[in-house]
Amino acid sequence: MALEFPIYMDNHSTTPMDPRVVEAMLPYFTKAFGNAASRTHAFGWTAEAAVEDARETLAKFIGASSGKEMVFTSGATEANNLAIKGAAEYYQSKGNHLITTVIEHKSVLDSCKRLERQGFDVSYVEVEKNGLVDPAKIERAITDKTILVSVMLANNEVGTIQPIAEIGKITRARSVLLHCDAVQGVGKTPFDVESMNVDLASITAHKIYGPKGIGALYVRRSRPRVRLVSQMDGGGHERGNRSGTLNVAGIVGFARACELMMSEGPTENARIRALRDRLRQRLEAALDQVTLNGDAEHRLSGNLNLSFSFVEGEGLMMAIKDVAVSSGSACTSASLEPSYVLKAMGLDEELAHSSLRFGLGRFNTQEEVDYVADLVIQKVKKLRDISPLYEMHQQGIDIKSIQWAAH
Amino acid sequence: MAYSDKVIDHYENPRNVGTLDPQRDDVGTGLVGAPACGDVMRLQIRVNEEGVIEDARFKTFGCGSAIASSSLATEWIKGKKLDEAGQLSNSQIATELNLPPVKIHCSVLAEDAIKSAILDYKKKREARQALSSEAHASEGPSPEAKPRVAGREVTAGK
């Protein structure tokens, strides 16, 4: 099959929609366009029935006992905001302490920071060098004021899969709520809110080949029943948890994406893992000084985060501009700070600037992997030829021994 | 972010990539930036007796704009007198390459690299002059008796 350009290898950022998802959604834009809250006519009933079916599918997808536990939102950012702020506000009479980790998504970290300004205390647990959270550190951070722990299922940059089940045992035993931002991991690694003792979970459609603009928050209804203070005022939709007319077509697409993940996920993940491993092996065989960032085992099948020493990530991305990837080098950001996730893992800033994240997904092929591997090898070599740091490395000069002036 | 055509041109066909022997008396080396910040530029000049930059070479670790800025800088200072080259400003580089605000620091770094290379050359020349006048004053037999070894002086900084 002929290659088509540009090649997309940034599936942690978003995924293309599966055509089967698009197909499922189409009737809900035109013929079945009703408002799911309209109780007085067939248009509304049709929409409502589609939404209720979708709820059950989503519940099954994450191991929830009922569709009633799913609250639809505009996406994962809103789900994370609602979970953290909504729970903190509801349970503030019980305590004012929350625990999260330093590598969470900004929608979790910034929600926590806002709560801190409102008088809450937040502990940000460090991660290990491999990007994994040590459950014992979570346990040690729990106090009698702790109301919520929030840990992601899988990290969006380095793909590390966190020990949610172990953390869930701890939080359940200590009667603390557990929120899990499951956006990156769900469908790609086992996730089950019942067996893992998760009380709140954020998911989104566009990371699993569904549409953008639709997410959901799982809110446990029994043992324990979790309550939230809604963050959006209005018509009282979603059992009062989230007002706003439902995005029916998006919800139908979300459910279809979940169905496909449930039926095809295991085979698909094995195929993606093989492609990812092939890419890694090719790059490491041809290039020296390549470092894998994040744990090799506890890792999303499609994630490959590598640092190519002595080559700057953004410069490398420019050299492979027909391939969509991302870099931990935040050279384009005004702050010039590299990835906070890589820094939190204790990675040297130089290596953070030299990192590239490949995110493989459903539609990547072996031909693409081979093409990308060859291209990256060629361009890394070219950029190392013009890198003063690589020359120093070859001359045996330790770059760390030089007094660099920060600028 | 879209790069300007000139940045892409310099990035894809960098001018004057290479290394001059930093030990030589007629070579000045500037090494600026820091790996932790994501840019390191090394710019070298070879200067003749008339104070004209006969050759300029660079190697850069950095984004496309940093590579383009240093490539352009070497192109511009070649054939110029030291004083002239020292007056080249970052804004000239930024304008020529049409750098966006977040990339202005790349042009600043290129200006620093030029200045640092000139300074290194001048320091060497002063040291050489001091050495020869010393030799002259003592009427010593041979200046070879005290060969000057140009150390690998790595001056990283503005």
CATH topology assigned to domain B5-138: Sufe protein. Chain: A (3.90.1010)
Say if residue A80 is in the same domain as residue A229. Answer: yes
Give the closest residue to A205 by CA, choosing from A302, A67, A65, A76. Answer: A76
Domain boundary among A260, A277, A312: A260
Residue of A nearest to B38 (CA): A353
Instruction: Give me the pLDDT at residue B139, please.
Output: 52
Q: Which of residues 370-399 of A touch B (CB under 8 A)?
A: 385-391, 399
**Looking only at Cα atoms, what is the longest distance across chain B?**
64
- Tens digits of residue pLDDT in A336-362: 678 999 999 999 989 999 999 999 999
Nearest-Cα distance to chain A for B133, in Å, is 33
Is residue B46 a contact partner of residue B27, using CB atoms and an 8 Å limit? yes
Say if residue A126 is in the same domain as residue A230. Answer: yes
- Residue ranges per domain, chain B? 5-138
Is residue A148 a contact partner of residue A120, using CB atoms and an 8 Å limit? no
Nearest-Cα distance to chain B for A341, in Å, is 15
Residue of A nearest to B61 (CA): A387
**What residues of A are annotated to the active site?**
331
What are the helix (H) ranges across B16-103?
64-77, 82-86, 90-97
Say if residue A185 is in the same domain as residue A303. Answer: no
* pLDDT tens for the 158 residues of chain B, in order: 578 999 999 999 999 999 999 999 999 999 999 998 899 999 999 999 999 999 999 999 999 999 999 999 999 999 999 999 999 999 999 999 999 998 999 999 999 999 999 999 999 999 988 888 877 766 544 444 333 334 344 444 43
Say if residue A312 is in the same domain as residue A198. Answer: no
Residue of B nearest to A311 (CA): B61
Say if residue A380 is in the same domain as residue A250. Answer: no
What are the helix (H) ranges across A129-204?
135-141, 164-173
Q: Residue A2 domain-assigned?
A: no
3-class secondary-structure state, position A100: strand
Cα A118 off chain centre by: 27
Query: What letter would DSSP give residue A30?
Result: T
Instruction: Check A389 against B154: CB less than 8 A apart.
Output: no
Say if residue A372 is in the same domain as residue A300. Answer: yes
Say if residue A171 is in the same domain as residue A85. Answer: yes
Q: Kindly report each contact of residues B3-9 with a partner whose C-beta sits within 8 Å and lies 24 or more positions away, as own/partner.
A: B3/A318, B3/B64, B3/B65, B4/B97, B4/B98, B4/B99, B6/B68, B6/B72, B6/B96, B6/B97, B6/B98, B7/B64, B7/B65, B7/B68, B7/B97, B7/B98, B7/B99, B8/B64, B8/B68, B9/B68
Q: Which of residues 90-129 of B touch A (CB under 8 A)?
A: 102, 105, 108-109
Q: Is A310 left (phi over 0), alpha (psi -120 to 50) or beta?
A: left
Any CB–CB contact under 8 A between B35 and chain A? yes
Q: Residue A1 domain-assigned?
A: no
**b/e for B125-145, b at 16 or more Cβ within 10 A?**
beeeeeeeeebeeeeeeeeee
The CA distance from A365 to B24, in Å, is: 53
What the block records as the tokens of A264 is: 């095809």
Instruction: Give me the pLDDT at residue A210, please.
Output: 98
Instruction: Check A404 against B1: CB less than 8 A apart.
Output: no
- Tens digits of residue pLDDT in A195-228: 999 999 999 999 999 999 999 999 999 999 999 9
Instruction: Check B157 against A388: CB less than 8 A apart.
Output: no
| Annotated catalytic residue, options B32, B40, B56, B106 | B106
Any CB–CB contact under 8 A between A405 and chain B? yes
Instruction: Give me the pLDDT at residue A332, please.
Output: 46
Low-confidence ranges of chain A (pLDDT < 50): 332-333
The CA distance from B59 to A261, in Å, is: 48
Instruction: Check A315 against B67: CB less than 8 A apart.
Output: yes
Instruction: Check A318 against B11: CB less than 8 A apart.
Output: yes
Domain boundary among A194, A226, A260: A260
Say if residue A90 is in the same domain as residue A180. Answer: yes
Any CB–CB contact under 8 A between B32 and chain A? yes
DSSP secondary structure letters along A66-99: -GGGEEEESSHHHHHHHHHHHHHHHTTTT--EEE
Residue type at A339 in one-letter notation: S
Q: Of A319, A403, A406, which has the smallest distance from its Cβ to B36's Cβ?
A: A406
Q: Residue A379 domain-assigned?
A: yes
Q: Of B59, B62, B157, which has the smallest distance from its Cβ to A315's Cβ?
A: B62
Say if residue A146 is in the same domain as residue A253. Answer: yes
Is residue A188 a contact partner of residue A182, using CB atoms and an 8 Å limit? no
Q: Give residue A60's domain range.
A: 19-260
Number of domains in chain A: 2
- First and final C-alpha spacing in chain A: 48
Domain boundary among A260, A280, A296: A260
Is residue A310 a contact partner of residue A390, using CB atoms and an 8 Å limit? yes
Give the closest residue to B66 by CA, choosing from B45, B28, B93, B30. Answer: B93
The CA distance from B103 to B11, in Å, is: 14
Residue of A nearest to B154 (CA): A402
Count Cα neighbours of B11 within 13 Å in the Cβ-side half-sphere.
22
CATH code, domain carrying A317: 3.90.1150.10
Say if residue A329 is in the same domain as residue A388. Answer: yes
The CA distance from A375 to A369, in Å, is: 10
